[in-house]
């Protein structure tokens, strides 16, 4: 048997419980027992890794419920590479389709925020633009395109997912939550390598997403004004600049 085949059988066995071909013991009937012990240890470790990746979701659902749910996700979507921070991209969709959580649809968006924070933390570095670049962009808004920091993420939600996430942070005080209020999360790794989460209004969210998609400044502002009449992009632009989130400036044809 090729080594690569053995590794694939072994990995499959971890998630299915099937004894991989080639796994033996002195007493043949012990092979399955020993593999089961190893498999349980791996499953427990990965379940705890998932909880560490989605701590707010674990707090919302409770440790006991999360511990029962994690192996179900593991059986459906196990890690595909040794870097566990990259695992869990499908967890939010799994939660969306998990029948016991049908009455808590907003929990999946909390998971999306948590996964995006992990991506932001591990994103590449980029030097911020000098202060004068913002004035240059504003002076030629019909051609200016601003590049945003690689760690910046926008996570829209039909629910108050940002508030739910914040309410389930260590030391936070629970409060009544109007869960059906839409919120959009702005996620950005700061200069101290913290990854705060900020709720954006519809105009700001549309403006930042438009910049991220490559629209010129004037078109991004027009899109934001459509989403929120009277929107002024000045405040969010200044906020992004102060946070070091503006990292590139180019000029081209209006699109």
Contact in structure between 114 and 54 (CB atoms under 8 Å): yes
Beta bridge mates, 185: 155, 199
Tokens standing for 227?
């989403």
Q: Say how far apart CA 72 and CA 206 lie, in whole Å.
A: 36
Task: Give, for all 255 residues of the chain, the pLDDT tens digit.
Answer: 675 665 565 566 666 666 667 666 666 676 666 666 656 666 667 888 899 999 999 999 999 999 999 989 988 887 777 777 788 999 999 999 999 999 999 999 999 999 999 999 999 999 999 989 999 999 999 999 999 999 999 999 999 999 999 999 999 887 888 999 999 999 999 988 999 999 999 999 999 999 999 999 999 999 999 999 999 999 999 999 999 999 999 998 765
pTM of the model: 0.86
Instruction: Say which residues have a Cβ less than 8 Å from residue 196's Cβ, sequence separation at least 6.
Output: 187, 188, 190
Beta bridge mates, 199: 185
CA dihedral 49, 51, 52, 54 (to 10 degrees): 120
Mapping DSSP onto H, E and C, the string for the chain reads: CCHHHHHHHHHHHHHHCCCCCCCCCCCHHHHHHHHHHHHHHHHHHHHHHHHHHCHHHHHHHCHHHHHHHHHHHHHHCCCCCCCHHHCCCCHHHHHHCCHHHCCCCCHHHHHHHHHHHHHHHCCCCCCCCCCHHHHHHHHCCCCEEEEECCCCEEEEECCCHHHHHHHCCCCCCCCCCCCCCCEEEEECCCCCCCCCEEEECHHHHHHHHHHHHCCCHHHHHHHHHHHCCCCCCHHHHHHHHHCCCEEEEEECCCC
Q: Say how far apart CA 105 and CA 83 lie, in whole Å.
A: 29
Which residue's entry shows tokens 């508030």?
163
Which residue segments constitute the domains of the chain, with CATH numbers given?
1-104 (no CATH), 125-255 (3.90.930)
What pLDDT was estimated at residue 8? 63
What pLDDT was estimated at residue 9? 55
């Amino acid at each position: 048997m090729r080594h690569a085949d053995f590794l694939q059988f072994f990995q499959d066995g971890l998630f299915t419980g099937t004894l991989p071909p080639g796994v033996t013991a002195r007493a043949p009937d012990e092979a399955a027992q020993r593999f089961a012990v190893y498999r349980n240890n791996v499953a427990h470790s990965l379940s705890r890794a998932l909880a560490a990746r989605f701590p707010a979701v674990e707090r919302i659902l409770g440790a006991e419920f999360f511990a029962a749910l994690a192996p179900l996700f593991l059986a459906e979507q196990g890690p595909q590479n040794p870097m566990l921070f990259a695992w869990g991209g499908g967890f939010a969709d799994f939660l969306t389709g998990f029948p016991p959580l049908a009455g808590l649809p907003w929990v999946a968006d909390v998971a999306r925020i948590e996964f995006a924070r992990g991506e932001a933390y591990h994103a590449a570095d980029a030097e911020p633009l000098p202060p004068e670049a913002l004035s240059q962009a504003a002076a030629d808004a019909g051609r200016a395109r601003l590049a945003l920091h690689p760690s910046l993420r926008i996570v829209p939600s039909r629910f108050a997912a940002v508030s739910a996430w914040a309410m389930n942070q260590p030391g936070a005080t629970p409060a009544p939550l109007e869960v059906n209020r839409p919120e959009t999360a702005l996620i950005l790794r700061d200069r101290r390598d913290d990854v705060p989460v900020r709720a954006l209004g519809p105009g700001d969210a549309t403006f930042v997403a438009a910049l991220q998609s490559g629209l010129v400044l004037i078109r991004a502002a027009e899109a934001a004004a459509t989403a929120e009449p009277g929107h002024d992009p000045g405040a969010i632009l200044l906020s992004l600049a102060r946070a070091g989130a503006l990292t590139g400036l180019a000029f081209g044809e209006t699109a």
